Amino acid sequence: MAVPVKVSDKLLALAKKEAEATHRSATAQIEHWATLGRAIEVLAAYGDVLALKRVGNALPMPASVSRQSVQDLLTGLARDPDRESVKARIRAAGGPLYTRDRRGVEPVAEVTSSGRSTPGRLVHRRFVPARRKPGRRRP
């Protein structure tokens, strides 16, 4: 069942402009963007999603993008297991990266742009640093 949803005037204007170029309705265009967003959120680490969102807000919305260029982009991301180019963009934006804890003590580690690694875990999609055990010194 369809339910009315409020969106900003800016988003609606962008959707209408993009919808014309892609032969969709504004509603279909917004649904398309939402589907892509859900897919990215599932495939990418949370920190990567936040960095992409920050970068995306600053980019102009393209009037049209060819299907082949989107396919090429997704294929490139899927083939690069280390995602070095994505990591470089996130670092350039000043955001932290998340990786597995190399010491194996915690599930993940947050790596800041300065290279400092902090072990911890993700709780409700937020990074929580691990507590240091009393009497234990950092190497």
pLDDT > 70: what percent of the chain?
A: 80
Query: CA–CA separation, 43 vs 36, rounded Å?
Result: 11
Note whether 24 and 32 are within 8 A (CB).
yes
Q: Report the distance separating Cα 136 and Cα 133, nearest Å.
A: 6
pLDDT digits (tens, 9 = 90+) for 62-109: 556 666 777 777 777 667 666 677 777 766 777 787 888 878 778 888
Give the pairing type, strands 117-123 and 108-111.
antiparallel
Quote the radius of gyration of the chain (alpha carbons, Å). 19
pLDDT at 25 over 60: yes
Of the candidates 27, 94, 22, the residue with the CA atom closest to the CA atom of residue 58: 94
Taking only the tens place, the pLDDT of each residue in 50-72 is 777 776 666 555 556 666 777 77
Query: How many angstroms separate the CA atoms of 46 and 90, rounded?
Result: 12
Q: Which pLDDT value is given to residue 9?
A: 92
| Mean of per-residue pLDDT scores for the chain | 77
